[in-house]
Amino acid sequence: MPDYVLAIDQGTTSSRAMIFDHAGHVVSTGQLEHDQIFPKAGWVEHNPEQIWNNVREAVGLALVRANVTYTDIAAVGITNQRETAVVWDKNTGKPVYNAIVWQDTRTQPIVEALGGDVGADKYKAIVGLPLATYFSGPKIKWILDNVPGARESAERGDLLFGNTDSWVLWNMTGGVDGGVHYTDVTNASRTMLMDLDTLSWREDIAADMGIPLSMLPEIHSSSEVYGPGRPGGLLPGVPIAGILGDQQAATFGQACFTPGTAKNTYGTGNFMLLNTGTEKVPSKNGLLTTVAYKIGEAPQIYALEGSIAVTGSLIQWLRDNLGMFQDAPDVEWMARKVEDNGGAYFVPAFSGLFAPYWRPDARGALVGLTRYVNRNHMARAALESTAYQTREVLEAMKADSGVSLTELKVDGGMVQNELLMQFQADQLGVDVVRPKVAETTALGAAYAAGIAVGFWSGESDVTANWAEDRRWTPSMDEGERERLFRQWKKAVTKTFDWVDADTQ
């Protein structure tokens, strides 16, 4: 058996390749950012061909930096930005349009038309999701309705759809020369098109959206051999054997295998998942019911998810759009210059509000301003907004599941911000725990692939490899904790009803 497993992490801002050893340690990394394309307000796109080129280059970098070749790789796992829709021609391999990103809000008219008199919960009992611009299905419909010739090509059977996992897998296994068109249950559960009970596409919902079933990838488990790497590629013959949507991959990498365990990923947005076991728990409090993972022939495991659209991307916005600092980590240095937020609250509803509100009419707001507030207070308010939004999701999870968490496992880029992590513990009232390997998204995909080929024996190896790095314990006075959160809730209400019928 070769010594390593490689994971491809195709994320919202970059594509990475990471090589892991049997202990779950990072051996090497290759990473390249791709362009963020904003054609109009509320529209967010990526170039799928640039993504594929970057994936290949990232894999090459990781192999070179580890001083290994494809013969040293036991398997490849893929994890990806979910809900980002790619539609391409299976005969040419060319996308018919840019990938429409999960943050994109252009499909709001489609969503409202689909809901009709029933509203946002029309399909929720079947797919676990409310009708929202977030998910892939309405994005496919937009492309077929708006790209000249796309619908005719789709009806001829010439077009394929996938989230970016399917796009990368199809290209890695041969593309137009025999590439496999598969996805896994976690990605399929984010399209609004998969029945959560049967794990199969719903022909009636696809028909409602005008999507030919021939476009949809074949649904597989999260851990099995899908196919070998293409001949002539960087990984010829290496089994591609794991696929997990990024948040489910982080849940797997954090060893959240027991019902009631949860993790929160701090990335472009924040995503908290609570393992509910083999029980599908419907949400009454603005959460999503989703598939957490499925290992081979074993039963699928479900989760409740709270999705927050804007957290880390707010820090990028302060850096890129306002020029407040040069490097994202500098936000902590600025925030530490002041003792509190100065009364200012930043609600980053740039793409509307996701969980637990699901308000597409909301837009971002900075409220509570006085002449006392300076840019350091703004930096602190931006960090605090991440913690407040997470608390809202955690309280919704408790209401839905009846489970009171005793601690929260965290991962993602922002968990290096110790000011934020302490404030998060203070707002939640429970310990916040960071693992030694914070790159749990890529690690989870590696584990899924490695388990499929016998590199790891199963979930027990994942649990054995997990190790704690740092723990933050609540220290804030209860009265102050509640006062701050009350003010936050008031600030959120100021973002509602901003988008009118005649507003683009």
CA separation for the pair 469, 437 (Å, rounded): 8
Residue 9: phi and psi, rounded to 5, are -110, 95
Instruction: Give the pLDDT band (50/70/90) at residue 228.
Output: very high
Q: Is the Cβ–Cβ distance between 163 and 190 less than 8 Å?
A: yes
DSSP state of 414: G
Give the Cα-Cα-Cα angle 243, 164, 59 (nearest 5 degrees). Answer: 70
DSSP-derived 3-state class of residue 351: coil
The average pLDDT across 312-332 equals 90
In sequence order, what DSSP letters do the residues of 102-118 get, joined into one string?
TT--TTHHHHHHHHTTT
Q: Is 464 strand, coil or helix? A: helix
Question: Looking at residue 168, what is its pLDDT?
Answer: 97
Per-residue confidence band for 503, with pLDDT thresholds at 50, 70 and 90: low
**One-letter identity of residue 223:** S
* Inter-residue contact 245 to 307 (CB < 8 Å): no
**pLDDT at residue number 502:** 64
Q: What are the E-state strand segments in 205-327?
A: 218-220, 223-228, 239-245, 262-266, 270-277, 288-293, 301-308
pLDDT in tens, 338-369: 999 999 999 999 988 988 998 888 999 999 99
Residues 6+ apart with CB under 8 A from 113: none
User: Which one has a higher pLDDT value, 164 or 499?
Assistant: 164
Condensed to tens digits (0 to 9), the pLDDT of residues 140-156 reads: 999 999 999 999 999 99
| Confidence check: pLDDT of 504 > 60 | no
Q: For residue range 92-132, list pLDDT tens digits in order.
A: 999 999 999 998 989 999 999 999 999 889 999 999 999 99
Contact yes or no for 9/16 (Cβ under 8 A) = yes
**Residue 169 pLDDT grade (very low, low, confident, very high; cuts 50, 70, 90):** very high
Tokens of 253: 């990498």
The angle subtended at Cα 260 by Cα 456 and Cα 470, nearest 5°, is 70
The share of the chain scoring above pLDDT 90, in percent, equals 81
Nearest in space to 141 (alpha carbons), one of 92, 195, 207 = 207
End-to-end CA distance of the chain: 56
**Predicted confidence band of residue 326 (pLDDT cuts 50, 70, 90):** confident
- Tell me the mean pLDDT in the region 298-306: 94
